[in-house]
Amino acid sequence: MEILKTRTGLLELLPKGIVIAELGVFEGAFSTQIKRIVKPSELYLVDVFSGRTMSGDKDGRHCKHIDLNTSYQTLTQVYSRDEHVHIIKPLKKNHEENVKIFEKELAYQGLSVIIPTRECIVSLNKRMREKFKEKKEEKV
């Protein structure tokens, strides 16, 4: 068994053109390495992209706090330059447009990235309760 010193070393061992999902994208630095080194046929980037989080080493040093909303905006800017990268809102009103995007990318013979995003159900419920409360107070 070989112990790798870095996770980049793992990428160098993977076959080119495979399907990869990165869970916990953070700021997208490793996503860029995955795309550059492995050249995946499909790349799925999964994160909550809402709220705040922190990352650091196992000793608690070199900690970095980030706003995941900002991380999402940064990833959007980085990947929006590629015509085969799409950030979609999976809502009923966008269904037809989203289907066209999926059809186009399924027909494409290279790397396609589709990032579905929507508001967290917990934050949506909280926002809707606050909105309802405000409307109720306006009537009084």
Look at residue 1 and tell me if it is in a domain.
Answer: no
pLDDT for 38: 93
Look at residue 50 and tell me if it is in a domain.
Answer: yes
Number of domains making up the chain: 1
The C-alpha atoms of residue 100 and residue 91 are separated, in whole angstroms, by 14
Cβ atoms of 94 and 88 within 8 Å: the answer is yes
Per residue of the chain (140 residues), give pLDDT as tens. 788 888 899 999 999 999 888 887 777 788 889 989 999 888 887 776 666 666 666 666 667 776 777 777 777 777 767 787 887 888 889 899 989 998 998 888 877 777 777 766 777 788 888 888 888 888 76
pLDDT for 11: 93
Range of the domain at 127: 7-139
Look at residue 2 and tell me if it is in a domain.
Answer: no
pLDDT for 34: 93
